[in-house]
Amino acid sequence: MGKKKKETIRGLGAKYGGTLRKRNSRVFKMLKAHRECPSCSSMKLRRAATGIWTCGSCGYTIAGGAFDVTPPKRT
Ligand SMILES: [Zn+2]
């Protein structure tokens, strides 16, 4: 009985840890990723601060999400 209980807890822990790690790496990738600047279309848009993205090419600053920015793509 005790063994079964332990396994359940361990299983849940692994699941939770995996999700957390996955999410963390995704956020980290987003923070490091360069994005397309809506102004000059160069891939130099970087996260300058939380919710603020700045283009290293033309200096364009955009307010986006804390971890991601979704430039309006209307073609
Ligand atoms: Zn730019």
66 CB-near residues (< 8 Å, 6+ apart): 50, 51
> Do 13 and 21 touch, CB atoms closer than 8 A?
no
Q: What is the pLDDT of residue 27?
A: 64
**For the segment 10-54, what is each residue's pLDDT rounded down to a tens digit?**
555 556 666 666 667 766 666 667 788 889 999 999 888 888 889
Domains, the chain, with CATH or none: 2-63 (2.20.25.30)
Residues 50-73, mean pLDDT to the nearest whole number: 78
- Give 17 Cα–ligand 1 centroid separation in angstroms: 38
Q: Give the per-residue pLDDT at 47.
A: 85
- Most confident range (mean pLDDT) of 7-11, 54-58, 68-72 is 54-58
Q: How far is the CA of 12 from the centre of ligand 1 (A)?
A: 45
pLDDT of residue 69: 56
| Ligand 1 ion: Cβ-proximal residues, 5 Å cutoff | 37, 39-40, 55, 57-58, 60
Task: Give the bridge partners for 35, in sequence order.
Answer: 45
